A = this chain, B = another copy of it.
Amino acid sequence: MFSKEVYMTRRRVLLNKMAATAPEGKRGIALFVGNVEAAAQYKDNAYKFRQDSSWLYYFGLDEPRMAAVIDLDTGEETLYADDVDIDDIIWMGPQPSVASKAAEAGIYKSASYDSLTVAVTKALATGRNIHYLPPTRYYNTMRLASLTGVAVENVGKVAPIGEDGGRHASEELVKAVISMRLVKEPCEIEQLDDAGALGQEMHTVARNSIRLGIVEQEIVGEMEGVVLRKGWGVSFPTILTQRGETLHNHLHDKIVEPGKLMVIDAGAENNMHYASDFTRTYPTSGKFTSKQRDIYQIVADCNELAFSLTKPGIAYRDVHIATARLMLERLKDLDLVRGDVDAMVAEGIAGLFQPHGLGHNMGLDVHDMEDLGENLVGYDPDQKRARQLGLGSLRMARRLVPGNVITDEPGIYFIPALIAKWKSEGTGKDFVNYSKLESYHDFGGIRIEDDVLVTPDGARRTGPNRLPVQPDDIEDAMSS
């Protein structure tokens, strides 16, 4: 973990932000619940432990079954966790005491995990507000319901704490946390570069492993082995597919065939739990066909355009729209769409080809803070989420500030089911050249993705060694 000062400072800033939301004596408590182990097969055979990200951000302690309360009126902080007994020592080895773990996070009061119930019950009995974040895990949903008396189905709802007697997650706390986690500190940027390095190493190994005739899973195993050697694991389930038109294809059971496009969307989570998230698309035979190259170059140019526009002050929504415009101009050159580009942008025609957003925030979560609420995380208060396909899926629309870390991931896909739907509904009939699109039925999809840090005067990509992206460079890398 970072030094205790990092966590103490973050909690002090949080306390100040929360202090602004209510008068002293009326603030209540902030209740944080870390994750417990998650069963894979049976209770004691758990998935690799992954701590809650907001817990990691404010407390750093990377162990299951911990909780904490910050008294927002007095500033008192208490860690709730259990000391080990002899059975635990036999199975898990000698462990530091809870008090010393608390001290590592700069907390000087600790109590048993179950005594959290007493603390929360007491706060409830005296009518204090209980601020908590919407839980990610089912266990925490049940635990928060049982602690606070909120119905299970309401535990995850976010609203201002005054409403409904505070019997839901706290919008004040959610907003305060988002405002902090959106702007990465220098120590976090170091970690994101480290996760970037790991992710780039994964992708390099994957690219070098592509061979006709092997099963996709063999490449996945090679690349995931790389991250497990040095990091926590993959930052999300690896997408590696010759059917890139399926956006989140997690099956890896196909033989690598000649002439296909292989989309590899994968990233690393390092041991401090920071993420990277890169996508590259490779011609399985090592050379692009000219048809593939035409589409590929559009996506590469959109990726570059987005990067060149990224700087403080611009709304990422506008960067998305700029790439959509470029994409449509270039698809028009190929006669796949026709007509006025401005009209096509307004109609959301780009969504037929790229039904997802340009990018998302990234940090401790690969879609940073997604469970705190996509709109609260990704949209400024004056921004409304669009309903168009594509733009409507944009997870990060905000005006950029230095310290934001976002992905830049345009893509073009030819999705037969979606094309058939639009065609049959008449959607885009004034613009889309449906007859020419038929020859792209088996094309697949292309996506290119980098991770980008917004700097005071522009942007830089995270990770030390940007993966080849231009088609010639891709072909060179695959032949070497």
Contact = CB atoms under 8 A, between A and B. Distances in A.
A44 interface: yes
A109 interface: no
A236 B42 CA distance: 10
A407 interface: no
Interface of A: 38-48, 50, 53, 86, 89-94, 136-139, 141-142, 152, 217-218, 220-222, 224-230, 236-237, 243, 245-249, 355, 364-367, 369-371, 415, 417-418, 421
A41 B366 contact: yes
B222 A136 contact: no
A50 B40 contact: yes
Contacts of A367: 41-42, 44-45
A42 to B, nearest CB: 4
Contacts of A46: 237
A49 to B, nearest CB: 8
Contacts of A246: 90-93
B418 A86 contact: yes
A138 B58 CA distance: 26
Given A44-B367, A89-B418, A90-B418, A39 B137 contact: yes
Contacts of A136: 39, 41-43
Contact of A42 (B47, B90, B141, B371): B371
A101 to B, nearest CB: 15
A46 B236 CA distance: 7
Nearest to A421: B86
Interface centre among A41, A86, A226, A417 (most CB of B within 10 A): A41
Nearest to A245: B93
Contact of A230 (B92, B217, B248, B365): B217
Nearest to A45: B236
A422 to B, nearest CB: 10
B225 A90 contact: no
Contacts of A138: 38-39, 137-139, 141-142
Contact of A43 (B47, B247, B370): B370
Contact of A226 (B90, B225, B364): B225
A415 B141 CA distance: 38
A267 to B, nearest CB: 11
Contact of A221 (B225, B236, B371): B225
A42 B365 contact: yes
Given A86-B418, A90-B415, A370 B142 contact: no
Contacts of A248: 91-92
A229 B222 contact: yes
Given A366-B45, A370-B43, A221 B230 contact: yes
Contacts of A137: 39, 138
Nearest to A365: B41
Nearest to A137: B39
A390 to B, nearest CB: 11
Given A38-B47, A237-B48, A418-B86, A228 B229 contact: no
A357 to B, nearest CB: 13
Contacts of A93: 243, 245-246, 249
A376 B40 CA distance: 21
Given A86-B421, A229-B218, A370 B44 contact: yes
Given A41-B136, A53-B41, A142-B142, A229 B220 contact: yes
